[in-house]
Amino acid sequence: MLDYLQHLSYWDWLGLGTLLLILEVFGAGGYLLWVGIAAASVGVLTFIFPGLDWTWQFLLFGLFSVLSAVLWWRRQRDSAKTSDQPGLNQRGSELLGRQFSLHEPIIAGRGKIKAGDTLWLVIGPDLPAGSSVRVIGQEGVLLKVEAIR
């Protein structure tokens, strides 16, 4: 095994890099991408400097793997920005603070309002149908309402 390690060629590193990138395509979630790129980089360096000792090759491989992953993680963290539409894909949050008429009365704490073309289940104080209510909160798919006086 030691004899094999002492005679690593650039083809070994390029093959490892290719294998890791192929495995990444099958759904590793980004973990093998940077290790594969690091292996390919060591392959290129081994091609340029054919006398590079195997211990240096492994040290460079480890360094490149960690360095590329950390740099990508920092780039992702720094480029994350807050949305200009914080309620996007949060059904019901766009209804907070709006006023509606009860479509069905609230009986035993539950009723329905019609918002656009959708009926929403609401919880709140018992009120007759047609009463004006304001949406004050949300619990999953239930909207909390209060009566408007």
Q: How many CB atoms lie within 10 A of CB 27?
A: 8
User: Which residues are CB-neighbours of 94 under 8 A, at least 6 positions away?
Assistant: 87
The tens-digit pLDDT sequence of the chain (149 residues) is 777 777 788 899 999 999 999 999 988 777 888 899 999 999 999 999 988 888 999 999 999 999 998 998 888 888 877 777 766 677 778 889 999 999 999 999 999 999 988 899 999 999 999 999 999 999 888 999 999 97
pLDDT value of residue 65: 93
Its pTM stands at 0.53
Which residues belong to CATH 2.40.50.140 in the chain? 93-147
CATH of domain 93-147: 2.40.50.140
Gap between the Cα atoms of 125 and 114, Å rounded: 17
Gap between the Cα atoms of 48 and 135, Å rounded: 68
pLDDT value of residue 87: 66
Gap between the Cα atoms of 62 and 27, Å rounded: 22
Three-state DSSP string of the chain: CHHHHHCCCHHHHHHHHHHHHHHHHCCCCCHHHHHHHHHHHHHHHHHHCCCCCHHHHHHHHHHHHHHHHHHHHHHHHHHCCCCCCCCCCCCCHHHCCCEEEEEEEEECCEEEEEECCEEEEEECCCECCCCEEEEEEEECCEEEEEECC
pLDDT value of residue 120: 94
Contact 126, 108 (CB under 8 A): yes
